[in-house]
Amino acid sequence: MTISRRGLLGAVMVALAPSALLAHGFHASFSVIEFNPRTNALELFHRTFTQDIEILLTARAGKAVTLKNSARMEELIESYLLDVFSIKTSDNRPLKPAWVGMKIQLDTLFVYQEIKVMSGLRGLMINSQILTETHPGQVNSVNLTMNGRTQTLIFMANDAAQSVTF
């Protein structure tokens, strides 16, 4: 039996169609926290899918929000992250990230923040509930690098803060 190119292409398209429909069936965010000894600051970087953030901000605002056309997009995202991503010292003192900036690249949102820290920081309590209110199966990964050692934390909806020591 001989299969034409068109037949082969059609068979491949049919086989891949379900995965294309489910291409964004997994919801995740990725955050990186690194200590920069030159600036004595924790540098934060968050990566999420633009579509997921737009769905969440639309649900919160009660009207359609698109990141590319919103004059207040940085304010909305900063406020949201302050609600759902927390960092505290090991003695439970909140550390508030300062806004550095953001960029949208294709379907991905990148957010940059920074926390000036005091010397003698020995541990942190971290919690990431990014997008869990609209995506109950959301998985959030946080990589923390301090003193050349990287630790990975995984959060899902309603998870408690996790502690890291260094």
pTM over 0.75: yes
pLDDT tens digit sequence for 57-70: 999 889 988 887 66
In a domain, 7, yes or no: no
> Residues 21-38: what's their mean pLDDT?
80
- 4 pLDDT more than 80: no
Under the banding of pLDDT at 50, 70 and 90, the label for residue 7 is very low
Note the pLDDT of residue 89: 93
CB of 138 within 8 A of CB of 132?
Answer: yes
CB of 87 within 8 A of CB of 120?
Answer: no
- 144 vs 85: CA distance, rounded Å: 14
> Residues 137-145: what's their mean pLDDT?
97
- For residue 159, give its domain range: 25-165
User: Residue 164: exposed, middle, or buried by beta-carbon count in 10 A (0-12, 13-18, 19+)?
Assistant: middle
Q: In sequence order, which ranges of the chain are alpha helices (DSSP H)?
A: 5-21, 50-61, 73-84
- 44 vs 139: CA distance, rounded Å: 18
In a domain, 123, yes or no: yes
Please enumerate in sequence order all residues whose Cβ is within 8 A of that of 37, keeping only pairs 6 or more positions apart, or say none.
none
Q: Which residues pair with 143 in a beta bridge?
A: 32, 152
Please enumerate in sequence order all residues whose Cβ is within 8 A of that of 10, keeping only pairs 6 or more positions apart, or say none.
none
In a domain, 46, yes or no: yes
In a domain, 66, yes or no: yes
CB of 97 within 8 A of CB of 112?
Answer: no
- 160 vs 121: CA distance, rounded Å: 21
In a domain, 2, yes or no: no
CB of 87 within 8 A of CB of 42?
Answer: yes
Q: Report how many domains make up the chain.
A: 1
In this prediction, what percent of the chain has a pLDDT beyond 70? Answer: 83
Note the pLDDT of residue 118: 75
In a domain, 69, yes or no: yes
Please enumerate in sequence order all residues whose Cβ is within 8 A of that of 145, keeping only pairs 6 or more positions apart, or say none.
32, 33, 34, 35, 151
In a domain, 63, yes or no: yes
In a domain, 14, yes or no: no
- 8 pLDDT more than 80: no
| Helix (H/G/I), strand (E/B), else coil: 111 | strand
Q: Give me the chain's average pLDDT, please.
A: 85
- 41 pLDDT more than 90: yes
Note the pLDDT of residue 70: 65
